Amino acid sequence: MPKPALLLLIALLGGLYQNQNQIKNWLNPPPPAAPGSYNVVLYSTTWCGYCAKMRSYFADHHIRYRDVDVERSEEGIRAYADLGGNGVPIVVIGKQVIYGYAPEQVDEALALN
């Protein structure tokens, strides 16, 4: 095998290995929650890197959640203001509010609810 082709194959396999969880979740997504049964709500934007990390965390841990855009949805705009929004993501689990990307706090809140 020519050297460039071998390097390309190694890079491809490395990329697949590094992203195996995202590929697995894309091929086998968690089941959707029934309407009105969401215990976890993510207030986010489409451009926020930490929001994307929170979505990936939820997917990797098969946590069902409702994603509410705080810039494009009337509900999101109102809730963001009511929660004292000063950044995203904001995660609401039951009555607990978690500001920022904080997986440990999410795990604690889910254990309590």
Give CA angle at 100 (31, 47), nearest 5°: 70
Rounded mean pLDDT, 68-91: 94
Strand partners, 96: 93
For the chain, the domains span: 1-30, 32-112
Angle between helix axes 20-27 and 3-18 (nearest 10 degrees) is 70
Residue 84 Cα distances to 12, 18, 39, angstroms: 44, 37, 20
Return the number of other C-beta atoms located less than 10 Å from residue 61's C-beta.
Answer: 12
CATH number 3.40.30.10 given to 32-112: yes
Which tens digit of pLDDT belongs to each residue from 2-51?
Answer: 677 787 778 777 766 676 666 666 666 655 554 445 689 999 999 999 99
Give the pLDDT of residue 25. 60
Which tens digit of pLDDT belongs to each residue from 47-79?
Answer: 999 999 999 999 999 899 999 999 999 999 999
CA atoms of 110 and 104, how far apart (whole Å): 10
